[in-house]
Amino acid sequence: MDPVRILELYSGIGGMHYALKECGVPAEVVAAIDINTTANQIYKHNFPETPLWNKTIEGITLDDFNKLSFDMITMSPPCQPFTRIGLQGDVSDSRTKSFLYILDILPRLHKPPRFILLENVKGFETSSARQRLVKTLTDCRYAFWEVMVSPTSVGIPNSRLRYFLLARSPTGDSDVQINSLILDTFPPPAEGATPQQASVLSPTCTSSGQTGEEVHGGHFLYKRETVTEVERKLVQNNNPSVRPIRDFLEPQKDGNMEPYLLGPKTLLRYAAVLDIVQPDCRRSVCFTKGYGRYVEGTGSVLQGCMETQMDGVFLGLDQLSEEEKLQRLLKLKLRYFTPREVANLMGFPHSFSFPQHISTIQKYRVLGNSLNVVVVSKLLQLLLS
């Protein structure tokens, strides 16, 4: 079988490329396109053979696209216009321009791609951009499926609820099966479990409720969290189909985690809103591109010292002097997950690495923009096989 020729738009650090390698279907990325120079350096470092275009998508002509003669487009358009924390500028946000350009080009290609995979944040499913995508695909006679999936449904202890659209140019009966295949692969959450798993949106689009990804706090009511949140975390931690955080950690050698410890100022200011997890937990919140720079809502932190009980630290904390508070909090040895550990939780293989000069903050930033490789590889298997 000839390799499927892939056009990887918004390629970033190559999450889609890794998913393609992992899905087992022979594929060749004929061009990867992105304008982020840091991400491009990382992409080039890991995929030196792949043609990487450091160009804006909307600056590439129809002619150039035709010359690539691709069978499939993978794309993760910028998500800021659709996030709940963003301004939700949708199609009027300038960052959506390149996506609208792709929709304009698609019907005019000499040879429309047989497959399309699009990834975006929760929020995209109710956007006008999604409506335009659906219209274009319908006009071009594609069959398509939409699904919301979080890595927890493939056994990874990390919440990252994302919208995916899989499209295939109609080929016959096999198309109707994809819906049930998706449901088999990403079964809906068990009773009482988090709603962060899978819900198939197609054929009509529904919103799947809250994700909890921006929820903060540990398992302690005296921190700022509700009973529902605590209960949800307990259910998550007791879900045997999800692996423990421990499996994703780097070996801890003397002092090698020091650079990742949370400093005194951060501890004193943000202790009550940290999402703290332990190695035996089966959950963590979504790592965003602000991880390591901002504390609130950007990703979980890890308790490094298990001899200290969380209750002993947090009970009555507010009544203490700053100095006493700090002494207690320091005992937990709270630290950020390392970029390698974040990459592990995002399903990146061991072969993935960063060039030496990339800083820790840059690593968190590009990882936060990327995707869960295991989730996408499973979707690719459904679409391509």
Provide the annotated active-site residues. Answer: 79
Write down the least CB distance from residue 369 to ligand SAH, Å: 4
**With respect to ligand SAH, which residue has the nearer C-beta, 62 or 315?**
62
Contact (CB, 8 A) for 159 and 152:
yes
Site string for ligand SAH, 80-109 (x = CB under 6 A): ------------------x-----------
**Residue nearest ligand SAH by beta-carbon distance:** 12
With binding defined as CB under 6 A, does residue 78 bind ligand SAH? yes
Write down the least CB distance from residue 40 to ligand SAH, Å: 8
**With respect to ligand SAH, which residue has the nearer C-beta, 16 or 384?**
16
Write down the least CB distance from residue 362 to ligand SAH, Å: 12
Write down the least CB distance from residue 94 to ligand SAH, Å: 9
Write down the least CB distance from residue 12 to ligand SAH, Å: 2
With binding defined as CB under 6 A, does residue 38 bind ligand SAH? no
**With respect to ligand SAH, which residue has the nearer C-beta, 36 or 66?**
36
Window 359-378: residues binding ligand SAH (CB under 6 A): 369-371
Window 3-22: residues binding ligand SAH (CB under 6 A): 10, 12-16
Write down the least CB distance from residue 91 to ligand SAH, Å: 14
**With respect to ligand SAH, which residue has the nearer C-beta, 36 or 185?**
36
Window 264-323: residues binding ligand SAH (CB under 6 A): none
The crossing angle, in degrees rounded to 10, of helices 373-384 and 15-23 is 50
DSSP alpha helix (H) spans, the chain: 15-23, 37-46, 62-68, 97-105, 128-139, 178-185, 227-237, 264-270, 310-314, 322-331, 339-345, 360-369, 373-384
- Which residue is associated with the tokens 């200011």? 269
Distance CA 150, CA 156 (A): 9
Counting residues that bind ligand SAH (by CB under 6 A) gives 20
Distances (CA, A) of 219 to 1, 9, 99, 113, 286: 52, 40, 41, 48, 17
Window 158-197: residues binding ligand SAH (CB under 6 A): none
With binding defined as CB under 6 A, does residue 143 bind ligand SAH? no
- Residue 355 has which token pair? 């060039």
- Residue 258 has which token pair? 């020091």
Question: Cis bond leading into 48, ω under 30°?
Answer: no
Window 56-75: residues binding ligand SAH (CB under 6 A): 56-58
Distance CA 352, CA 17 (A): 11
**With respect to ligand SAH, which residue has the nearer C-beta, 99 or 337?**
99
Other CB atoms closer than 10 Å to residue 197's CB: what's the count? 23
Distance CA 148, CA 151 (A): 10
Other CB atoms closer than 10 Å to residue 321's CB: what's the count? 8
**With respect to ligand SAH, which residue has the nearer C-beta, 76 or 298?**
76
With binding defined as CB under 6 A, does residue 137 bind ligand SAH? no
- Which residue is associated with the tokens 């459904």? 382
Can you tell me which of 76, 127, 239, 338 binds ligand SAH, judged by CB under 6 A? 76
Question: For the chain, first and last CA: distance in Å?
Answer: 12
Distances (CA, A) of 97 to 32, 78, 165: 18, 10, 19
- Residue 263 has which token pair? 């400093």
Catalog residues that contact ligand SAH under the rule CB under 6 A: 10, 12-16, 33-36, 39, 56-58, 76, 78, 98, 369-371
